Protein backbone atom coordinates (compact mmCIF):
# COMPACT_ATOMS: atom_id res chain seq x y z
CA UNK A 1 0.00 0.00 0.00
CA UNK A 2 2.80 2.43 0.89
CA UNK A 3 4.48 1.71 -2.44
CA UNK A 4 1.19 2.36 -4.26
CA UNK A 5 0.74 5.70 -2.47
CA UNK A 6 4.30 6.74 -3.31
CA UNK A 7 3.76 5.75 -6.93
CA UNK A 8 0.52 7.73 -7.13
CA UNK A 9 2.22 10.79 -5.58
CA UNK A 10 5.10 10.53 -8.02
CA UNK A 11 2.73 10.18 -10.97
CA UNK A 12 0.70 13.17 -9.79
CA UNK A 13 3.83 15.29 -9.37
CA UNK A 14 5.08 14.29 -12.83
CA UNK A 15 1.76 15.20 -14.43
CA UNK A 16 1.66 18.53 -12.60
CA UNK A 17 5.23 19.26 -13.73
CA UNK A 18 4.33 18.39 -17.31
CA UNK A 19 1.22 20.58 -17.28
CA UNK A 20 3.13 23.52 -15.81
CA UNK A 21 6.15 23.35 -18.08
CA UNK A 22 4.03 22.79 -21.18
CA UNK A 23 2.77 26.39 -21.02
CA UNK A 24 6.09 27.50 -22.51
CA UNK A 25 5.55 25.32 -25.58
CA UNK A 26 4.27 26.96 -28.74
CA UNK A 27 5.08 29.73 -31.17
CA UNK A 28 5.75 33.27 -30.00
CA UNK A 29 6.12 36.70 -31.62
CA UNK A 30 7.70 39.85 -30.20
CA UNK A 31 5.07 42.18 -28.75
CA UNK A 32 6.47 45.70 -28.38
CA UNK A 33 9.94 47.19 -27.97
CA UNK A 34 10.65 46.14 -24.38
CA UNK A 35 12.80 48.00 -21.85
CA UNK A 36 16.50 48.48 -21.18
CA UNK A 37 18.43 49.47 -18.07
CA UNK A 38 21.04 52.22 -18.05
CA UNK A 39 24.13 51.27 -20.06
CA UNK A 40 27.11 51.78 -17.77
CA UNK A 41 30.27 50.78 -19.57
CA UNK A 42 33.83 50.43 -18.34
CA UNK A 43 36.60 52.18 -20.26
CA UNK A 44 37.16 48.99 -22.26
CA UNK A 45 33.44 48.64 -22.91
CA UNK A 46 33.27 52.21 -24.17
CA UNK A 47 36.34 51.66 -26.36
CA UNK A 48 34.68 48.64 -27.97
CA UNK A 49 31.48 50.56 -28.49
CA UNK A 50 33.25 53.58 -29.99
CA UNK A 51 35.03 51.33 -32.51
CA UNK A 52 31.75 49.82 -33.74
CA UNK A 53 30.55 50.66 -37.25
CA UNK A 54 26.98 49.47 -37.86
CA UNK A 55 27.40 49.30 -41.63
CA UNK A 56 30.53 47.16 -41.36
CA UNK A 57 30.53 45.33 -38.01
CA UNK A 58 26.90 44.22 -37.67
CA UNK A 59 27.11 40.38 -37.66
CA UNK A 60 23.72 40.22 -39.38
CA UNK A 61 25.47 41.29 -42.58
CA UNK A 62 27.16 37.86 -42.51
CA UNK A 63 23.98 35.98 -41.47
CA UNK A 64 25.43 35.58 -37.98
CA UNK A 65 23.35 36.13 -34.80
CA UNK A 66 24.95 38.90 -32.77
CA UNK A 67 23.67 37.66 -29.40
CA UNK A 68 20.77 35.76 -27.85
CA UNK A 69 18.94 38.97 -26.89
CA UNK A 70 19.26 40.27 -30.44
CA UNK A 71 17.57 37.13 -31.76
CA UNK A 72 14.78 37.08 -29.16
CA UNK A 73 13.97 40.73 -29.88
CA UNK A 74 13.74 40.53 -33.67
CA UNK A 75 10.39 41.98 -34.84
CA UNK A 76 8.00 39.88 -36.94
CA UNK A 77 10.14 36.77 -36.57
CA UNK A 78 8.34 33.74 -35.04
CA UNK A 79 10.05 31.69 -32.34
CA UNK A 80 8.97 28.16 -31.44
CA UNK A 81 9.63 26.58 -28.03
CA UNK A 82 9.50 22.87 -27.27
CA UNK A 83 10.11 21.62 -23.73
CA UNK A 84 10.75 18.15 -22.36
CA UNK A 85 12.01 16.87 -19.03
CA UNK A 86 15.53 16.80 -20.48
CA UNK A 87 15.84 20.01 -22.49
CA UNK A 88 14.37 23.13 -24.00
CA UNK A 89 14.52 23.42 -27.78
CA UNK A 90 14.12 26.87 -29.33
CA UNK A 91 13.58 27.36 -33.06
CA UNK A 92 14.15 30.88 -34.36
CA UNK A 93 12.98 31.78 -37.84
CA UNK A 94 15.74 34.40 -37.94
CA UNK A 95 18.82 32.88 -39.64
CA UNK A 96 17.18 29.41 -39.36
CA UNK A 97 18.64 29.03 -35.85
CA UNK A 98 18.11 25.97 -33.67
CA UNK A 99 19.02 26.18 -29.99
CA UNK A 100 19.24 23.01 -27.87
CA UNK A 101 19.61 23.63 -24.13
CA UNK A 102 19.79 20.80 -21.59
CA UNK A 103 18.26 21.08 -18.14
CA UNK A 104 21.16 20.75 -15.74
CA UNK A 105 23.99 22.81 -14.27
CA UNK A 106 27.28 24.40 -15.21
CA UNK A 107 28.75 20.93 -15.49
CA UNK A 108 26.68 20.48 -18.65
CA UNK A 109 28.45 23.33 -20.45
CA UNK A 110 30.70 22.25 -23.29
CA UNK A 111 32.93 24.06 -25.74
CA UNK A 112 30.29 23.44 -28.41
CA UNK A 113 27.80 26.31 -28.75
CA UNK A 114 24.16 25.50 -28.05
CA UNK A 115 22.99 27.16 -31.28
CA UNK A 116 23.40 26.11 -34.89
CA UNK A 117 21.59 26.74 -38.16
CA UNK A 118 20.01 24.27 -40.55
CA UNK A 119 23.34 23.91 -42.37
CA UNK A 120 25.00 22.69 -39.18
CA UNK A 121 27.02 25.88 -38.58
CA UNK A 122 27.45 26.62 -34.86
CA UNK A 123 27.37 30.14 -33.42
CA UNK A 124 29.38 30.88 -30.29
CA UNK A 125 27.91 34.39 -30.28
CA UNK A 126 24.91 32.72 -28.61
CA UNK A 127 27.10 30.97 -26.02
CA UNK A 128 26.96 27.52 -24.49
CA UNK A 129 23.89 27.18 -22.28
CA UNK A 130 22.11 25.12 -19.65
CA UNK A 131 18.67 25.61 -18.11
CA UNK A 132 16.81 24.87 -14.93
CA UNK A 133 13.12 24.89 -14.08
CA UNK A 134 12.04 26.44 -10.80
CA UNK A 135 8.69 27.68 -9.49
CA UNK A 136 6.99 27.96 -12.89
CA UNK A 137 9.97 29.74 -14.44
CA UNK A 138 12.74 28.65 -16.76
CA UNK A 139 16.24 30.01 -16.16
CA UNK A 140 18.83 29.83 -18.93
CA UNK A 141 22.49 30.57 -18.22
CA UNK A 142 24.95 31.04 -21.08
CA UNK A 143 28.74 31.34 -21.04
CA UNK A 144 31.66 30.89 -23.45
CA UNK A 145 30.45 33.59 -25.82
CA UNK A 146 32.34 34.85 -28.82
CA UNK A 147 32.91 38.57 -28.91
CA UNK A 148 29.88 40.24 -30.43
CA UNK A 149 27.16 42.80 -29.83
CA UNK A 150 24.20 42.60 -27.49
CA UNK A 151 22.55 45.49 -29.27
CA UNK A 152 23.67 45.89 -32.89
CA UNK A 153 21.87 49.19 -33.44
CA UNK A 154 24.14 50.87 -30.88
CA UNK A 155 27.11 48.57 -30.68
CA UNK A 156 26.69 47.39 -27.08
CA UNK A 157 29.42 44.75 -26.88
CA UNK A 158 29.80 41.31 -25.36
CA UNK A 159 33.06 39.42 -24.81
CA UNK A 160 34.34 35.93 -24.07
CA UNK A 161 33.83 36.66 -20.35
CA UNK A 162 30.17 37.68 -20.74
CA UNK A 163 27.60 35.70 -18.75
CA UNK A 164 23.98 35.93 -19.91
CA UNK A 165 20.94 34.98 -17.85
CA UNK A 166 17.47 34.55 -19.36
CA UNK A 167 14.42 34.32 -17.11
CA UNK A 168 11.30 33.06 -18.89
CA UNK A 169 7.81 33.26 -17.43
CA UNK A 170 4.37 32.86 -19.00
CA UNK A 171 1.30 34.79 -17.92
CA UNK A 172 -2.00 34.78 -19.84
CA UNK A 173 -0.46 33.69 -23.13
CA UNK A 174 2.32 36.25 -22.86
CA UNK A 175 5.95 35.14 -22.63
CA UNK A 176 8.01 37.51 -20.48
CA UNK A 177 11.79 37.46 -20.77
CA UNK A 178 14.27 39.22 -18.50
CA UNK A 179 17.74 39.12 -19.98
CA UNK A 180 20.67 40.05 -17.74
CA UNK A 181 24.23 40.46 -18.97
CA UNK A 182 27.18 40.48 -16.59
CA UNK A 183 30.77 41.19 -17.62
CA UNK A 184 33.25 43.06 -15.43
CA UNK A 185 35.38 43.78 -18.50
CA UNK A 186 32.54 45.67 -20.21
CA UNK A 187 29.89 46.72 -17.68
CA UNK A 188 30.13 48.65 -14.43
CA UNK A 189 26.67 47.29 -13.62
CA UNK A 190 24.72 44.41 -15.21
CA UNK A 191 22.74 45.27 -18.33
CA UNK A 192 19.09 44.23 -17.96
CA UNK A 193 16.72 43.91 -20.91
CA UNK A 194 13.06 42.94 -20.76
CA UNK A 195 10.63 42.09 -23.53
CA UNK A 196 7.38 40.28 -24.05
CA UNK A 197 6.18 37.94 -26.75
CA UNK A 198 2.58 37.08 -27.56
CA UNK A 199 1.41 33.58 -28.36
CA UNK A 200 1.20 33.12 -32.10
CA UNK A 201 0.55 29.41 -32.64
CA UNK A 202 -1.18 30.22 -35.93
CA UNK A 203 2.19 31.14 -37.45
CA UNK A 204 4.63 28.73 -39.06
CA UNK A 205 8.42 28.86 -38.90
CA UNK A 206 9.41 29.47 -42.51
CA UNK A 207 12.89 29.08 -44.05
CA UNK A 208 14.88 32.27 -43.66
CA UNK A 209 17.56 31.44 -46.21
CA UNK A 210 19.80 34.34 -45.26
CA UNK A 211 22.10 35.77 -47.90
CA UNK A 212 25.10 37.71 -46.61
CA UNK A 213 26.34 41.04 -47.91
CA UNK A 214 29.09 39.38 -49.98
CA UNK A 215 26.53 37.53 -52.09
CA UNK A 216 27.00 38.38 -55.76
CA UNK A 217 23.34 38.46 -56.74
CA UNK A 218 24.05 39.80 -60.24
CA UNK A 219 26.42 36.94 -61.07
CA UNK A 220 24.05 34.34 -59.61
CA UNK A 221 21.11 35.79 -61.55
CA UNK A 222 22.98 35.64 -64.86
CA UNK A 223 24.18 32.10 -64.26
CA UNK A 224 20.62 30.74 -64.39
| 185-220 residue pLDDT tens | 999 999 999 999 999 999 999 999 998 866 443 344
Mean pLDDT score across all residues of the chain: 89
The pLDDT of residue 18:
57
The pLDDT of residue 13:
38
Q: Which residues contact 155 (CB under 8 A, 6 or more apart)?
A: 48, 49, 52, 54, 57, 149
Backbone phi, psi, residue 156, to 5°: -75, 115
Please state the rounded mean pLDDT for residues 26-51: 96
Quick check: 152 pLDDT over 70?
yes
The pLDDT of residue 4:
44
The pLDDT of residue 214:
60
Quick check: 20 pLDDT over 70?
no
Backbone phi, psi, residue 195, to 5°: -155, 160
The pLDDT of residue 212:
82
The pLDDT of residue 5:
43
Domain 22-199 CATH superfamily: Calycin beta-barrel core domain (2.40.128.20)
The pLDDT of residue 220:
45
Which residues pair with residue 100 across a beta bridge? Answer: 89
What pLDDT digit, counting tens, does each position of 47-104 carry?
999 999 999 999 999 999 999 999 999 999 999 999 999 999 999 999 999 999 999 9
Rounded Cα gap, residues 118 and 120, in angstroms:
5
Domain regions of the chain by residue span:
22-199
CA separation, residue 166 to residues 11, 129, 194, 200, 217 (Å): 30, 10, 10, 21, 38
Instruction: Write the DSSP assignment of the chain as a string of letters.
Output: -HHHHHHHHHHHHHHHHHHHHGGG-EEEEE-S--EE----B-HHHHHHHHT--HHHH-GGGGT----HHHHHT-TT--EEEEE-SSEEEEEETGGGEEEEEEBS-GGG--SS-SEEETT--B-GGG-EEEEEEETTEEEEEEE-PPSEEEETTTTEEE-TT-EEEEEEEEETTEEEEEEEEE-TTTBSS-EEEEEEEEE-TT----------TT--HHHHHHT-
The pLDDT of residue 42:
98
Rounded Cα gap, residues 152 and 145, in angstroms:
16
The pLDDT of residue 217:
39
**Confidence category of residue 22, pLDDT binned at 50, 70, 90:** confident
Quick check: 6 pLDDT over 70?
no
Amino acid sequence: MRYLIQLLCLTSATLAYGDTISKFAGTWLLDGPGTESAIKLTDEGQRLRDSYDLLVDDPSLKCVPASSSRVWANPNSPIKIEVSAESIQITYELFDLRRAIPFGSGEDLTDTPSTSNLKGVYFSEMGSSFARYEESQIFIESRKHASGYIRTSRGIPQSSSTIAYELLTVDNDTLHITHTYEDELIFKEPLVLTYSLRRADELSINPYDCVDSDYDWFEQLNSK
